[in-house]
Amino acid sequence: MNFPLFSMLWAMSATVITGVLMVAALVMNFDGIPHIIGVAIVGALVALPTALFLTKKLAVLSQPSLYNPTYAYLKTMDNKMRVLKKPT
């Protein structure tokens, strides 16, 4: 697993999820300190599986493999270019 990517995605998703939950809590008049701390903890915990899911998806997309159609096309084109080049 790509830990730098995971930590960046976790930080971004935790901020967004916590912000959404914070707005929802404040709209419903849950504005006490225990509620705000609870929302922050829940937002950080919900962001963990979200960041893990996104990290796995992005890691698959960024890995060159035969299952990635763009990579397979580029590899095919590279092989064709090698065939067209005359050996020196």
Q: What is the pLDDT of residues 22-68, one digit of tens each?
A: 999 999 999 999 999 999 999 999 999 999 999 988 887 776 655 55
pLDDT band at 9 (very low <50, low <70, confident <90, very high): very high
pLDDT of 78 reads 57
Rounded distance between C-alpha atoms, residue 14 and residue 64, angstroms: 29
Structure tokens belonging to residue 72: 């397979």
Task: Specify the DSSP element, H or E, that contains 66.
Answer: none
Domain that holds residue 63: 3-84
Instruction: Work out how many domains the chain is built from and give that number.
Output: 1
CA distances from 71 to 12, 15, 57, 79 (A): 29, 34, 16, 12
Rounded distance between C-alpha atoms, residue 60 and residue 75, angstroms: 17
pLDDT of 87 reads 55
Rounded distance between C-alpha atoms, residue 21 and residue 28, angstroms: 11
